[in-house]
Chain A
Amino acid sequence: MKAFCYGVWIQFLMDLRSRSLFITCYLVPLLFFFMMGSVFTSIMPEYQDTLIASMTIMSVSMGSLLGLSSSVVQIYGTTLQKTYMANSLPVYYGLVTLFVSAFFHLMIVSTLIFILSPILFHATLPSHIGIYYLHLILFIISSLGVASVLGLFVKTQGLLTMMSQIIFLPSIILSGIMFPASMLPSFLENLGKLFPATWGYLLLTQSQGQYILILIMILAFLICFQRMRSFYSFIK
């Protein structure tokens, strides 16, 4: 356990040293938050009610789909995993430490948005902060689960960039964080329901969709577990 905790700690530090994770987890989401907060709350004052949830969905989706999946490929798609295994680290080590570390980073950026939104843009705070945070944790874990599956199945960084963009962009556009999903044609509204971001937004704003996110989380964990078992499963 001590070794595992140390692994998570150095992964957390490495994530801070890595420019790419800093950009996807902090810089871009917070810049987007400042820009959207300024523009949307001034042209649509009702946006203050959903600012925290929408900017959190955007940040978590970006940090997980573009951030975590890329880090997973850097381990499981390269010789790094072999080095870990040659030195007695278990096959799940890389994924679990990345997952836990990314979880903390996404909690930090979500909390920054939560604190800064009312101060800077007079955003409305959720009525039950405890429940909001429980829902946030569920959404972060589900998003990280989907990103883990992506990172474990796509073998090259180039293909992953394309795949994660294919999932990330419609996630943001169709989830309802920029404009109500009900304004979309029914085909696109239904398409949006394929992405965790749509359910996450529903959960953070209306406390609905938790069962779908739990299902996504469980499915993602099962797929990751099965994928892990297939790595070097022939080792006696």
Chain B
Amino acid sequence: MKTVIKVSHVSQSYGSYQVLNDVSFEVYKGEILGLLGMNGAGKTTTLECLEGFLKYEGNISIDGQIAIQSQNESLPAYMKVSEAITLFSQWKKASLEPQLLKALDLLSIMNKQYQQLSTGQKRRLHLALALIGQPDIFILDEPTAGLDVAGRFALHQIIRQLQKKGVTIVIASHDMNEVESLCQRIGILKQGKMVFLGTVEDFTLHMGKCYRIKVITQEGENLYTTQDVRQTLSQILDDYQKRNLEILDMNVSRGTLEQHFISMAGGIEK
């Protein structure tokens, strides 16, 4: 498979705060890679390094024309939808496919000013603007944030159609279900480090072996994730006995894929 994006040992920091720590991954032509992580994990920073908006240490090579839909985009308040499309089409020396305008439901709002658009309409407009010029690589940061169910469905359809045309797509999201339904591979970022990179099947298989243990004591609720239930339970019981804590309730379960993602990416469980 041809590599179109190669990220090698990329680190990035804001002052003394390190946002990305030695992140490396590759994206292959025609695939959809999902970058998952909790807020502040480094997803947007990774994408901004790819887009060239941030300084970084390490190397990034990109082979192809890139299109970007950022999380925080805006246009002048008084710019009309039709003007934005014409302006960007002229600069990119390309035009927007009429089918795309229809699919994104933009035809009815062509004369509306940017300030009059709803959040979903703005997201759809920015998506359309990014797609002018038929890019080889499409980077999307939280693409369905602010979209209703219909908008989300339409966007997913468009992403799948783009993939069929050979466009390589990188999506940053914290929605496990969205990534699971769209992406061939996922990378999970945690505190600026890539803690998992592989196919969705790999993740499911890896996490399928994990169990969640919920223990309730008079001090509160504690959650544990483990692959060896017997050993962990033994350690928990020993620990609680030493601390003289009474166990009020205990539950062992396999957990959902999303719960496993949270435990891997978020670190909110012990």
Contact = CB atoms under 8 A, between A and B. Distances in A.
Contacts of A127: none
A80 B73 CA distance: 6
A128 interface: no
Interface in A1-24: 2-3, 6-7, 10, 13-14, 17-18
B74 A83 contact: yes
Interface string B169-210: 000000000000000000000000000000000000000000
Interface string B4-42: 000000000000000000000000000000000000000
Interface stretch (B80-88, B98-106, B218-226, B244-252): B80-88
B126 interface: yes
Interface of B: 51-53, 55, 68, 70, 72-79, 83, 86-88, 90-92, 113, 126, 129-130, 132-133
B55 A10 contact: no
B59 to A, nearest CB: 11
A28 B52 CA distance: 43
Interface stretch (A86-94, A105-113, A143-151, A187-195): A86-94
Contacts of A182: none
Provide the main secondary structure of the chain A interface.
Answer: helix
Given A3-B91, A87-B129, A79 B70 contact: yes
A7 B129 CA distance: 15
B74 A80 contact: yes
A188 to B, nearest CB: 39
Contacts of A83: 70, 73-75, 126
Nearest to A80: B74
Contacts of A236: 52
Nearest to B61: A236
Contact of B52 (A13, A17, A79, A235): A235
